[in-house]
Structure 1
Amino acid sequence: LDRGLPFPLEDIPKSGCVILVGSNLAETMPPSLRFFTELRENGGTLIVIDPRRTRTAEQADLHLAPRPGTDLALALGLLHLVIAEGRVDEEYVRERTAGWEDARAAAMAHWPEYVERITGVSVPQLRRTVRMFCEPESAMVLTARGPEQQSKGTDTVGAWINLCLATGRAGRPLSGYGCLTGQGNGQGGREHGQK
């Protein structure tokens, strides 16, 4: 399947929190960075997940720098905390998802201290990320080439989608999951119907 967003870029500044995984928009898609700047100006929070301290990461409210190749463990660890802290939207999961027991089992095998050892992201940062993502009424996860182009890229993206589903974000206004291309022309072409 090709990548794209299920919502317009104009929704980003209106969301409560955006987790941006494996993208350096400041260098690869500079015009889109304004939406993330507006997000923060409107009181929303930006969490950037990237092993590198990029220009985009410098603009984040929280920058997580996992070891390269550990994005799957990080996503599962965040889902573990969502479950452990009672932040799952049980009604949404029951009525609108399938395969929850498998997703839950994978997440529960990734407790915070274990994820910290794998990723290098501290337990307090993991907990802060979950709090920042779950407390607002709306939140988004956007992934890009970083998590996709790994040996378990499909599983990794699936884990980020599961985080959105478990918290009832997908399909709701100013919320959900979307994926970005590696550079602006590719994203622009897709957003203008060339898929």
Structure 2
Amino acid sequence: MSSLPFAHLAPTPAPCRPASLRDLFFAFTWLALQGFGGVLVVVQRELVERKRWLSQEEFVEDWAVAQVLPGPNVVNLALMFGGRMFGLPGALTALAGLLAAPLVIVLLLAMLHTRFAGYPAVEGALRGMAAVSAGLIGAVGLKLAVALANNPVPLAWSVAIALTGFILVALLHVPLWYVMAGLGGLGCVLAWRRLRA
């Protein structure tokens, strides 16, 4: 038996890691190019399922930290993951891979959008893409729910916190900052009490 406290709650480490900085750069470039409207779906599929650089549990933990930190979630994740693999050069390489090609594409699309924004076909296409993005994010949320089995917060409490957050933000339009502080703080206290016991 391990002498480390809470060792049974530690995530199973992923079996693989990036071979080089170049590998890291192209992996983050590829996932960024696939992520129109949000990259959570693509990041989970690429890093966990396809590359196997992170286990499901590691991804959930890293994504949770990335959401709490200021800035875009996927940028935070890229910096954390690249830094863990190769130090500062890895963090900067993952960030460059994530931002370089999409930046060029966004600038080109912005120029096209200013010219064709009024066309009904363009408006319809953008509405359709938003619906697809929402569906993909929901599907990944369900897929990641299996990682809650290792969460120190009981499943019933986790579901209650998630539903309360949805109601407060989506239906009652409470500012996200207040919801994150309140419900996030409650989740931290519950986890701390369970781990301490």
**Shorter-chain TM-score: which interval?**
under 0.3
Higher relative contact order (CA 8 A, sep 6+): 1
TM-score (norm 2): 0.24
TM-score (norm 1): 0.24
Larger radius of gyration: 2
